[in-house]
Amino acid sequence: MVTLGQFLRFSLSTRGADFRSDHGDGFMWHSKLKRVRQASWGPAALALGLMVSLAGGGTAVAHGGLSVEADTCVLRFPGTGYKMHFAGYQPNSQQKEFCEDIPERGRTIVALDYFSPELRRMEVELRVIRKPGDASAETSNVDAITEIYLPPQKRPTGTFNFEHNFEEGDYIGLLKLRDEAGEHISRFPFAVGQTPMQQTTRLALMFLVLLVGGGAAIWVSRNKRTKSF
């Protein structure tokens, strides 16, 4: 599938043909102009493509190992084919299930169903932690920030669930399993109780970072290429 960034880079670069001339050095100038356009517009097109992807929602923005695929919330273990179905509920306030972020603080039930039959023969461990300010705390002091812990256990029925009263904030879910190849971890950050305005603000900040980064890349590329003429 051709991304928006790839399409724009191709379209803009091929327009260099308009700058050909009948002079002997026409091809040289055409080549230089084409390189300048490719170098300067490429980052901008890529940034634009990323912004469109982020704004599209759905499968474009995934929370770690958790994403929405064909209207189904799927949790994956990177590097493997193992998958689980994730479904969250808030029976006291929400009428429908959710995926990824938890809409409100309070009582929450999460159910996990194994898509992959082989998972029923493996011990699966679950841990939910409060997002630490220092990433090293996930390994060095994980017990101090743990909200939920279910020790490694085989689940022949292929399903299990947990319930918790969440407070507002940012959390990280960690699912671990082990097979013949070693240990596999599915890590999925999520937020609790963020209003639509907070989510919009966070997305706007992401857009701003991409926009500034793309603008800086264009400026640097144009200056480098201009000096080469």
Q: How many residues does this entry show for the chain? A: 229
Taking residues 105-109, what's their average pLDDT?
94
Q: The dihedral of CA 90, 93, 94, 99: what is its sign?
A: negative
Q: What is the pLDDT of residues 191-212, one digit of tens each?
A: 999 755 444 555 566 667 778 7
CB 80 within 8 A of CB 182: no
Q: What are phi and psi of 128, to 5 degrees?
A: -120, 125
Q: Where are the domains of the chain?
A: 4-58+209-228, 66-195
What mean pLDDT comes out for the span 213-219? 76
The span from the CA of 191 to the CA of 199, in Å, is 10
Average pLDDT over residues 113-125: 95
Q: Look at residue 80 and tell me whether its pLDDT is greater than 70.
A: yes
CATH class name, domain 66-195 = mainly beta
H runs (alpha helix) in 57-182 = 137-140
Closest C-alpha to 60, from 122, 139, 1 = 1
* Residue 26 confidence (pLDDT): 45
Q: Is residue 42 packed enough to be buried (19+ CB in 10 Å), middle (13-18) or exposed (0-12)?
A: buried
pLDDT for residue 203: 54
What is the tens place of the pLDDT at every residue in 28-44? Answer: 434 443 444 444 445 54
Quote the percentage of the chain above a pLDDT of 70. 65
Q: Please determine, for residue 77, whether its predicted confidence score (pLDDT) is greater than 80.
A: yes
pLDDT at residue 132, rounded to an integer: 86
Mean pLDDT, to the nearest integer, of 39-53?
A: 48
Mean pLDDT, rounded, for 158-181:
94
The letter for the amino acid at 41 is: W
The whole-angstrom separation of Cα 15 and Cα 161 is 57
Res 212: pLDDT: 79
d(CA 67, CA 156): 25
Q: Which of 33, 49, 173 is nearest to 102 (CA)?
A: 173
Residue type, 61: V
Q: Which residue has the higher pLDDT, 97 or 200?
A: 97
End-to-end Cα distance, the chain: 36
Question: What's the confidence (pLDDT) of residue 2?
Answer: 45
Which region among 38-47, 77-86, 123-132, 206-215 has the lowest average model confidence (pLDDT)? 38-47
